[in-house]
Amino acid sequence: MTLRRLRMTSGRRRLTRPRHGMTIVELMVAILLLSVGLLGMAGFSFTMTKQFQSSGLQGTAALVVQSRLDSVASIHCSNLAPSGPQTGTAVTMGVRESWVITDGNDIKTVVDTVTFAGRKNPLVYQSIIPCRD
C-alpha cells in the first residue's frame, strides 16, 4: 500500500489516489491564455496586411516619380521652365502627383509631391537635373 494512503475523514475511511489530469480552473486558464495569444496573432496579421498594401502603393508612387524624372530629364533644358516655375499634376494607377520645375544656375530642380489612399502625409521627392547644353 505504498501508493495509496488511507485518511480518516468524518468517521469514514477515504482512499486518496495520485491526481491525474487537470482541474476545470486550470483548463479555463489555459483556454484564456490561448485565446489571448490567438487574438494577438490575428491583430498582428491585420496590421501586416495593411503594411503590405501600403508598401505596394508606395512602390507604385516611387515608379511614377522615377518615370516623371526620366521624362523631365529627356527634355532640353531651354524648354524646361524658361519663364518661371513650371507645374503640373497627374493621376497614375491611383497615385496623385504634382510637380514643380524651377530654373537654377545650369540646373533644373524638380520637386514631385505624391499622395495616395491610405497615407495621411504626402511623399515629397526632389531631384536636380543638370543642363548639358
pLDDT tens sequence across 11-66: 566 667 777 777 899 999 999 999 999 999 999 999 998 888 778 888 888 999 99
pLDDT at 2 over 60: no
Structural domain span for residue 29: 21-130
Average pLDDT in the 98-121 region? 89
Classify residue 100 by burial, with Cβ atoms within 10 Å: 0-12, 13-18, 19+. middle
pLDDT at 122 over 80: yes
The pTM of this model reads 0.61
pLDDT at 21: 77
16/107 Cα distance (integer angstroms):
93
pLDDT at 132: 75
Q: Is residue 32 part of a domain?
A: yes
Q: Is residue 55 part of a domain?
A: yes
The number of domains in the chain is: 1
pLDDT at 4: 46
7/14 Cα distance (integer angstroms):
6
CATH number of domain containing 71: 3.30.1300
What is the percentage of the chain residues whose pLDDT exceeds 70? 88
pLDDT at 3 over 50: no
SS3 label, residue 85: coil
Q: Is residue 14 part of a domain?
A: no
Q: Is residue 60 part of a domain?
A: yes
Pairing assessment for the beta strands 95-103 and 86-92 based on DSSP bridges: antiparallel
